[in-house]
Structure 1
Amino acid sequence: MAESSHFDYIIIGNGLAGLQLALKLSEDNFFSTKTIALIDPSEKNTNDKTWSFWEKESSQWDSIISKSWNKASVLTSEKDIQLDLKPYNYNTIKALDFYKYAKTKLQTKDNIHFIIESVVSVEENEDLLVTTNNSTYSASHVFDSRVPEEFSIQNNKSISIIQHFKGWIIKTENNCFDDSKVIMMDYRLKDGNQTTFMYVLPFSTTEALVEFTYFTENVVEEHIYDNFIKTYIKDYLKIDTYTILETEQGQIPMSNFDFSKFNSNKITKIGTGGGWVKGSTGYSFKHTEKKVSKIIENLKANQRPSRNLFKQKFKFYDKVFLKVLKDENHKGEWIFKQFYGKNSIQTMFRFLDEESTLFEELKIMWSLFSWSFIKAFFKTL
């Protein structure tokens, strides 16, 4: 419990971005005298999602990685693309393991306080005030992960689609999965002409996450995901008997909406609310880690925390990609077949990590050369 109502930093939301930021602050002696509050209505005691990401090196997350793979496949109606990921590993972390890891570390710090309340408003006047359902707190700076209301109201002014999905973690009686390889995308079972695919993470030979994912403008009713998952398990995985251990369901905005306009000298939007989700893929774990490191660097240099968080050329690439998917949603299978069939997976990972060279980017653009992308390019200029 906090003994004061004023903090140097208030972090709103104990999700991926909020907890990664708090961890980074807690690990740096520069901030050891700063008081930090994390405000969230939830205790974060449920496994509400999984995060997947690729890495070449060991990291602080090694102890909570559920499973790693160095092989993957992308399956389309025309092509079976087998991928050797080395020197990368494709890793997955269960949200509950991440929450426990972060809370265990943060609760040992005297300057960090968890407040289980719902934030009602943030007011930036002479004082920076955060009002919750129970109290009011002041801060020198607020890091806010809430998605701005204007995003949903003015969504039609930006290029936006939704990555929405439902997955089952199933357990089988017999060995049914190749647990050395992740199925990143399987387009053989689709919902009409929309961009939809199956995603399979085999945790062992008898246990896997089987997930049906859409990249579309509108969500669907829950039973539709279930029907596709059932069909895939029966007809493609050839499994008749299994137990559903857990389910997960979510929606991730993929958008070029300008979240940065909600940043100020005293307020920094973070996470999904800050536009940190990769617009073209929905991946967020490693992008969050990089943006948190940049915020720390800015704070220590007495710069505005949101300074230089984004690379503009990659925002433009994402915008073109989103424009194609929005205008010609049936093109999704072809796009990803070109991505992974015409370029090495190592090049694609560097591109998606925004670490690629200009030559690699031009090669990727050439692999997608089509009238659809030419039109999208000029429409987004």
Structure 2
Amino acid sequence: MDIAILGAGCSGASLAYFLADAGFLGRIHLFDRRTDFSQEQRWCSWGPVPKRLSGLVSASWDRWRIVSGNAEVVCSLPERPYLHVHAPEFYERMHDRLRRHPNVRLHLGCSVESVTPTGLRGEIRRVAADFGDYDVDLVFDGRPSAENMEATRGSGEISLLQSFAGLVVESSEAAFDPDTVTLMDFGAGDSPELSFVYVLPFSAHRALVESTAFSGDGIAYDEHERRVENYLKKLGAGAYTVESRESGCIPMTTRKLPRMSDERHIMIGAAGGATRPSSGYAFVHILRQSETLAGSLMRGEHTWRRPIPRKYGLLDAVFLDALEDSPAHARESFLRMFGRVPTGALVRFLSGDSSLCDDLAVVAALDKTPFVAAAARRVKASMLGAEERR
């Protein structure tokens, strides 16, 4: 069996790696129109990551905090630390391993124009690329597309954008706590959208300081950078040098993304629904999906599971609805969750591997009024959507 993987980003590279590492006997064609993967800077999530990739973790923290005005919640869970993976190093090491594997063909700087059925019974997929045509048995597609990834409204769906921009700085003053990640500092909470500052401290003098906002249209880069500069002044960072800048925009939507174009053309990664709608976290979900797919192929199975369990769909939809309706309540909800839910239960919930007891603990900690109203709107939207599909 030969396969093609479209996109050599996190999902495509990790799937190719897991297959090659497991001794997959067929050819693996990995395509990407890019040759430079330095634009992505980092991925963060709670552990663990698969043991075979643990060497790619470049930093970890046992403590994290949420701040809103004068209120602060600090959590700790040493057995599941918050992990940082430097994306350029991930790509360099992954692509280098794949180049040296005899079964892998790495086609960088090569665009794929089309994927079409061929063969006597249409059981083969022909991948038409810049460097020629390739006939394979299965296609795994991790390319983001306008159709799949745009944040659209319709049929009662919720669509927000998580826009962010950050600076990696070296400060003259010891402004950062190197042992504690600031997941969210809402400040005075006076902006109309839900916005906060996120801090990854690499030392007392060096950190990523990032402005993030959840809104319908996103926030301009200049405004994000202004907020970062003001936050550094608030911390008393003193003079600082900027090592690098990064920015991006992640769709947060209840819209269901297609899991496959057909039974032999499967969507993976963010394009296949591996981004958690309520948080934007994707890294661990992508790795789990890649490892699961590789295991299925090695067993000769063609069963493609959801990258994020179905139960989180309703929970995330209710949260996004409440977030869109009342950003002020959302700030309070984050404080309540991190302050009242046992840390292990909350981390499992945010990581997508929670039990029913964990889920109930999270629900019990939330302010019922906005979330009951949001749940009612979600049920109504679901019923209207069902009527439209008839």
TM-score for both structures, normalised by structure 2: 0.89
Alpha-carbon displacement from aligned partner over 1:46-103 (angstroms, at most 9, x marks no partner): 2522101112588333333221111111111241111122222111011101101211
Alpha-carbon displacement from aligned partner over 1:21-59 (angstroms, at most 9, x marks no partner): 111111112x1x210111111224425221011125883
Q: 2:20 is matched with which residue?
A: 26
Alpha-carbon displacement from aligned partner over 1:175-234 (angstroms, at most 9, x marks no partner): 332211111111115561211110000111211000001122212222111111111111
Task: Give 3-state SS (helix, strand or coil) of 1:247's partner.
Answer: strand
Which structure 2 segments of 5+ residues have no match?
380-390
Pairs within 5 Å for 1:246-265: 246-265=244-263
Q: 2:310 is matched with which residue?
A: 312
Q: 1:115 is matched with which residue?
A: 107
Q: 1:135 is matched with which residue?
A: 132
Pairs within 5 Å for 1:65-76: 65-76=57-68
Pairs within 5 Å for 1:57-68: 59-68=51-60
Cα distance change of structure 1 residues 19 and 341 upon mapping to structure 2, 3 Å threshold: same
- Which amino acid in structure 1 is aligned with residue 148 of structure 2? F
1:150 is the counterpart of 2:147 = yes
Q: 2:38 is matched with which residue?
A: 46
Pairs within 5 Å for 1:1-381: 8-29=2-23, 31=24, 33-46=25-38, 48-55=40-47, 59-116=51-108, 117-124=110-117, 126=122, 127-151=124-148, 155-157=152-154, 158-188=157-187, 190=189, 192-235=191-234, 237-381=235-379
- On the 8 A contact 1:66/1:203 being kept in 2, the answer is no
Which structure 1 segments of 5+ residues have no match?
1-6
Shift of residue 105, structure 1, vs aligned partner: 1.6
Q: Matched residues in 2 for 1:58 and 1:272: separation?
A: 19
Task: Give 3-state SS (helix, strand or coil) of 1:214's partner.
Answer: strand
Cα distance change of structure 1 residues 156 and 63 upon mapping to structure 2, 3 Å threshold: same
Q: Matched residues in 1 for 2:211 and 2:117: separation?
A: 42
- On the 8 A contact 2:166/2:208 being kept in 1, the answer is yes
TM-score for both structures, normalised by structure 1: 0.91
Q: Matched residues in 2 for 1:213 and 1:186: separation?
A: 10
Paired residues in the alignment total 372
Shift of residue 334, structure 1, vs aligned partner: 1.5
Dislocated runs of 4+, deviation >4 Å: none
Cα distance change of structure 1 residues 96 and 191 upon mapping to structure 2, 3 Å threshold: farther
- Which amino acid in structure 2 is aligned with residue 166 of structure 1? A
Cα distance change of structure 1 residues 153 and 165 upon mapping to structure 2, 3 Å threshold: closer
Shift of residue 285, structure 1, vs aligned partner: 1.2
* Comparing 304-313 and 354-363, the one that deviates more: 304-313
- On the 8 A contact 1:263/1:306 being kept in 2, the answer is no
Q: Matched residues in 1 for 2:252 and 2:312: separation?
A: 14
Q: Matched residues in 2 for 1:73 and 1:186: separation?
A: 8
| CA RMSD of superposed structures (Å) | 2.1
Q: Matched residues in 2 for 1:20 and 1:190: separation?
A: 39
Alpha-carbon displacement from aligned partner over 1:118-171 (angstroms, at most 9, x marks no partner): 223323453412223443322211111123433366821332211110010001
Cα distance change of structure 1 residues 152 and 209 upon mapping to structure 2, 3 Å threshold: closer
